[in-house]
């Protein structure tokens, strides 16, 4: 603009100079021919000045018009993402104006290029961040443990479906919701707030938490971790709840198992130790007494051996480490062998052992020793819990339609109360009312069920009525 103004000033000076020259040229001639007043010399000079001024104004308008066009092109170039042509500004605008505009355009082009590059980088980073966020969200949603992520204001960022199921809220609508609203009635929200408030002192905290699910108490191991954002400032809390209810139940069962085993092992060992000390001290002075002591020691030692065998067999079956030798087995032959072994004990208690075996020619694919152990356990229990003068019936039947063989042992014993039926096959369980009738470890029925159902894919059967007796049995599938 400064160059344009300079040019207009020059033009004005040129117009004034031309007018003066004109007056100097014409006035002498006029003076020679006539008086000066007759030719209106002032009017002539004024007219010449006006003409010069009009010419200068026209040139100024042309210059301004061209300058505006140049700035308009500069504006379009600045707003456009495409490169501007080198000859954008015509040289008619003046060399200095064109040079300044080019420098300004080049600087703006560099800024625009830098901004475009930054924009592309930001778009790439945004896409990467979005992909990572979606991947993280998919991973969190796939975790079976409940996961809740909150920000620095205790608002929920992410909650997976497991957390929604646990606390009864829609995980898809949990974002930006206050965690206290989602965990209404639960003390966990208070723990999250406390963790946020004390994040400077601890970044990780683990504790056990109890929460009611379907009106049943569930136990959880809760892990809370503070996380920082990209500026290394506190960003929020990640809370993970792992259900340990089953683990606590197993731990309790393990403790009870050890307690029962210790008790059951101690009983025969105490008897063996006591009678051995009597023999050492010479308390058995005659042969008959010594034989009685020997018999007690032998009986308790056999009982101890059976107890240990049962424990080991159950553990091996549950761990899948039991060696099983399956082959076609005649179940009727196995049951007859059991009756022969149990007959002396039945006669000693004056119990009638009745054989109701039907001829079965089909075989089952089984481990013979295991099936023998299962049958012996059922017959022995029936004899132990049947008073003298009672009856124990053993039957074998074939169900051709179901392609299975059925073994039943029915006694006229004391029977089992209804509330104890559901616990019959638990380890070390014994009916409290019947403990005085016979010794036992409470492992026989559990081992029998493991043999029948876990190893041979059969099914245990039981019916009982207090004062009338019980029926225990099992079915096994026939060999193909």
- Where residue 64 falls among pLDDT bands split at 50, 70, 90? low
Question: What mean pLDDT do residues 87-105 have?
Answer: 64
**Beta bridge partner(s), residue 389:** none
Considering 71-80, 158-167, 247-256, 299-308, the range whose residues carry the highest mean pLDDT is 158-167
Q: Kindly state the tokens that stand for 82.
A: 């495409």
What is the C-alpha R_g of the chain? 54
More confidently predicted of 267 and 367: 367
CA distance 109 to 131: 33
**Is the pLDDT confidence value at 36 over 70?**
no
More confidently predicted of 97 and 428: 428
- Where residue 91 falls among pLDDT bands split at 50, 70, 90? very low
- Model pLDDT, residue 199: 77
CA distance 12 to 417: 129
- Model pLDDT, residue 371: 93
Whether the CB-CB separation of 411 and 463 falls below 8 Å is answered with: no
DSSP 231-262: TSSEEEEEEEEEE-HHHHHHHHHHHHHHHHHH
- Model pLDDT, residue 4: 46
Of 451, 318, 428, whose CA–CA distance to 373 is shortest?
Answer: 451
Whether the CB-CB separation of 171 and 192 falls below 8 Å is answered with: no
| Percent of the chain clearing pLDDT 70 (strictly above) | 79
Whether the CB-CB separation of 394 and 353 falls below 8 Å is answered with: yes
**Is the pLDDT confidence value at 33 over 50?**
no
* Element of type H or E holding 327: strand 327-329
**Is the pLDDT confidence value at 46 over 70?**
no
Considering 231-235, 310-314, 474-478, the range whose residues carry the highest mean pLDDT is 474-478
Question: What mean pLDDT do residues 73-81 have?
Answer: 56
- Model pLDDT, residue 410: 95
- Residue 132: φ, ψ to 5°: -65, -40
pLDDT tens digit string along 323-365?
A: 888 999 999 999 999 999 899 889 999 999 999 988 878 899 9
Of 338, 302, 313, whose CA–CA distance to 446 is shortest?
Answer: 313
- Where residue 170 falls among pLDDT bands split at 50, 70, 90? very high
CA distance 148 to 299: 61
- Residue 297: φ, ψ to 5°: -60, -40
DSSP-derived secondary structure letter, 85? P
- Model pLDDT, residue 29: 47
**Is the pLDDT confidence value at 88 over 50?**
no
Mean pLDDT of the chain: 81
Task: 50-53: list long-range contacts, CB under 8 Å, 24+ apart.
Answer: 51/15, 51/19, 52/12, 52/14, 52/15, 52/16, 52/18, 52/19, 53/12, 53/15
* Element of type H or E holding 23: helix 2-33
Q: Are strands 234-243 and 327-329 parallel, antiparallel or unpaired?
A: unpaired
**Beta bridge partner(s), residue 353:** 392
3-state class (DSSP) for residue 207: strand
**Is the pLDDT confidence value at 12 over 90?**
no
CA angle 58, 60, 61 (to 5 degrees): 65
Residues counted in the chain = 480
- Where residue 148 falls among pLDDT bands split at 50, 70, 90? very high
Whether the CB-CB separation of 416 and 470 falls below 8 Å is answered with: yes
More confidently predicted of 38 and 371: 371
- Residue 223: φ, ψ to 5°: -120, 120
Question: What mean pLDDT do residues 238-254 have?
Answer: 88
**Is the pLDDT confidence value at 283 over 90?**
no
Q: What domains sit in the chain, N to C, each tagged with a CATH number?
A: 2-111 (no CATH), 143-243 (3.30.450.20), 247-323 (1.10.287.130), 325-480 (3.30.565.10)
- Separation of CA 84 from chain center: 57
- Model pLDDT, residue 93: 47
**Beta bridge partner(s), residue 216:** 213
CA distance 425 to 329: 26
More confidently predicted of 21 and 475: 475
Whether the CB-CB separation of 240 and 230 falls below 8 Å is answered with: no
- Model pLDDT, residue 92: 45
CA distance 396 to 71: 111
**Is the pLDDT confidence value at 165 over 80?**
yes
Please give the sequence-ordered ranges of beta strands (E in DSSP) within 33-174, or none if there are none.
146-151, 156-159
| Percent of the chain clearing pLDDT 90 (strictly above) | 33
DSSP-derived secondary structure letter, 178? B
Residue with tokens 């639960």: 186
* Element of type H or E holding 228: strand 216-228
Q: Kindly state the tokens that stand for 11.
A: 């033009």
Query: Model-level pTM?
Result: 0.50
Q: CB-hemisphere CA count at 13 Å for 251?
A: 6
CA distance 342 to 163: 58
Q: Kindly state the tokens that stand for 99.
A: 């040079």
Point out the least confidently predicted range of 299-313, 352-366, 373-387: 299-313
- Residue 229: φ, ψ to 5°: -90, -170
Of 423, 438, 421, whose CA–CA distance to 256 is shortest?
Answer: 423
């Amino acid at each position: 603009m400064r160059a344009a103004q300079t040019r207009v000033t020059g033009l004005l000076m040129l117009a004034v100079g031309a007018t003066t020259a004109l007056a100097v040229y014409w006035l002498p001639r006029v003076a020679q021919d006539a008086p000066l007043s007759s030719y209106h010399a002032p009017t002539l000079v004024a007219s010449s000045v006006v003409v010069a001024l009009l010419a200068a104004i026209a040139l100024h308008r042309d210059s301004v018009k061209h300058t505006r066009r140049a700035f308009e092109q500069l504006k379009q170039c600045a707003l456009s993402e495409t490169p501007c042509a080198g000859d954008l500004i015509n040289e008619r605008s003046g060399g200095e104006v064109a040079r300044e505009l080019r420098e300004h355009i080049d600087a703006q082009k560099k800024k625009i290029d830098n901004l475009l590059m930054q924009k592309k980088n930001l778009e790439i980073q945004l896409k990467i961040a979005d992909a990572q966020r979606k991947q993280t969200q998919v991973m969190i949603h796939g975790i079976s443990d409940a996961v809740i992520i909150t920000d620095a204001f205790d608002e929920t960022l992410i909650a997976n479906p497991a957390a929604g199921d646990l606390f009864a809220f829609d995980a898809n609508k949990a974002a930006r919701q206050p965690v206290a609203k989602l965990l209404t009635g639960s003390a966990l929200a208070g723990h999250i707030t406390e963790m946020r408030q004390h994040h400077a002192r601890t970044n990780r905290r683990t504790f056990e938490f109890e929460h009611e699910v379907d009106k049943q108490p569930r136990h959880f191991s809760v892990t809370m971790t503070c996380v920082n954002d990209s500026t290394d400032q506190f960003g929020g809390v990640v809370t993970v709840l792992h259900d340990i209810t089953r683990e606590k139940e197993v731990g309790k069962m393990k403790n009870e198992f050890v307690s029962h085993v210790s008790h059951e092992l101690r009983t025969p060992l105490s008897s063996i130790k006591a009678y051995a000390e009597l023999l050492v001290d010479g308390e058995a002075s005659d042969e008959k007494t010594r034989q009685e002591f020997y018999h007690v020691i032998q009986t308790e030692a056999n009982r101890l051996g059976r107890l240990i065998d049962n424990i080991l067999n159950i553990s091996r079956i549950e761990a899948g480490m039991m060696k099983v030798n399956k082959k076609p087995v005649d179940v009727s032959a196995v049951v007859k062998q059991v009756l022969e072994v149990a007959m002396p004990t039945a006669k000693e208690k004056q119990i009638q052992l009745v054989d109701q075996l039907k001829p079965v020619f089909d075989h089952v694919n089984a481990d013979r020793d295991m099936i023998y152990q299962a049958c012996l356990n059922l017959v022995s229990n029936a004899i132990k819990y049947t008073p003298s003068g009672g009856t124990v019936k053993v039957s074998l039947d074939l169900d051709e339609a179901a392609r299975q063989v059925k073994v039943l042992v029915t006694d006229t014993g004391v029977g089992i109360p209804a509330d104890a039926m559901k616990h019959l096959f638990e380890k070390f369980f014994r009916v409290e009312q019947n403990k005085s009738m016979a010794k036992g470890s409470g492992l026989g029925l559990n081992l029998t069920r493991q043999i029948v159902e876990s190893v041979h894919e059969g099914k245990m059967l039981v019916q009982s009525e207090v004062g009338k007796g019980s029926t225990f049995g099992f079915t096994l599938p026939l060999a193909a």
